Amino acid sequence: MIEALSLPFMQRALVCGILVAILSGWFGAFVVQRRLSFLGSGLAHAAFGGVALGIFLSVPPLAIAVPFTIFVGLAIVWVQQRTVLAADTAIGVFFAVSMALGIVFLSQTDRYTTDAFAYLFGTILAIKPADLYLTIAVAALALLTCPLWSRWAYATFDRELAAADQVNVLRDDYLLALSLAVTVVVSIKVVGIVLIAAFLVIPAAAARLMTRRFSTMTLLSITCGVASVIVGLIGSYQLDLPSGPLIILTQAAIFAGAFLFRRG
């Protein structure tokens, strides 16, 4: 494995995977605690619509997927706030529409198979320098949300009291949705559209089983995600298995261990 880490593509995969794990763990804690696990899947499939449109227009897919997914994420919050629909219902509507649009766009091009497969299932070992720089940039921007952690945590546990205490919970909902949308789009090159929802949910869920303190849960969520990336990459190299799915299976093993520990 030491010699494998001397290879540039493995170095990029490791750095990019760790950064995505940090992002997913940070925001995933809010996703799990707010019971928005379906949101990760919904945004991932919204990204599929953006990727498909990019392929159809013959432009870099992420250039379309980023604004497309941000729009869907903000639209989900907007619809939820202005109707009697529950969050999962609003997510389900946009989930279905985005997938339908993606299929329509892909049906109109004859070169989609390879590109679409890469975005659906992830290609962490094929991360390019440009993808790594984009991930680093998003991780740096995510640092700007650190001062918001206490406000977001406040609203997570008592939304009404936070609003009464002059916390702008609606604005924070939009900021969280925007942050999740960007994280999802950046992450799809690592684990793919199919698996990114697991990246947002499983480490945070495992962390929730380990502690009742939200601050500790957030740190454990990040730790579980980073550990799964390292172990998953090593395992995929040793066993010659796909990296993305093996990372998710490692997260599942961590979750199982946390569950058994709590049960004991």
CATH of the domain at 224: 1.10.3470.10
Q: Look at the block and give the residue holding tokens 């219902």.
A: 89
Residue type, 215: S
Distances (CA, A) of 76 to 146, 157, 172, 237: 24, 21, 14, 39
> Is a pLDDT exceeding 50 seen at residue 211?
yes
Q: What is the pLDDT of residue 112?
A: 55
Task: Label residue 114 by pLDDT band (50, 70, 90).
Answer: low
DSSP 128: -
- Whether residue 264 is contained in a domain is answered as no
pLDDT tens digits for range 85-109: 887 888 888 888 988 998 888 888 7
pLDDT tens digits for range 128-145: 888 788 888 888 888 888
Distance CA 114, CA 59 (A): 15
> Is a pLDDT exceeding 90 seen at residue 237?
no
- Whether residue 165 is contained in a domain is answered as yes
pLDDT tens digits for range 12-65: 888 988 999 999 999 999 999 988 888 888 888 888 888 888 888 888 887 888
- Whether residue 161 is contained in a domain is answered as yes
Answer yes or no: are the C-beta atoms of 24 and 203 closer than 8 Å: yes
Q: What is the pLDDT of residue 41?
A: 81
pLDDT, averaged across the chain: 86
Counting residues of the chain whose pLDDT is more than 70, the rounded percentage is 95
Q: What is the mean predicted confidence (pLDDT) over 227-253?
A: 89
Task: Label residue 264 by pLDDT band (50, 70, 90).
Answer: very low
The total domain count for the chain is: 1
Residue 212, token pair as written in the block? 């009742």
Residue 122, token pair as written in the block? 């992830």
Q: What is the pLDDT of residue 209?
A: 93
pTM of the predicted model as reported, rounded to 2 decimal places: 0.87
Spatial neighbors of 263 by CB under 8 A, at least 6 apart, are none
Number of helices (H) and strands (E), helices first, in the chain?
Answer: 12, 0
- Whether residue 87 is contained in a domain is answered as yes
Q: Which domain holds residue 35?
A: 4-259
pLDDT tens digits for range 147-168: 889 999 999 898 888 888 888 9
Q: What is the pLDDT of residue 90?
A: 86
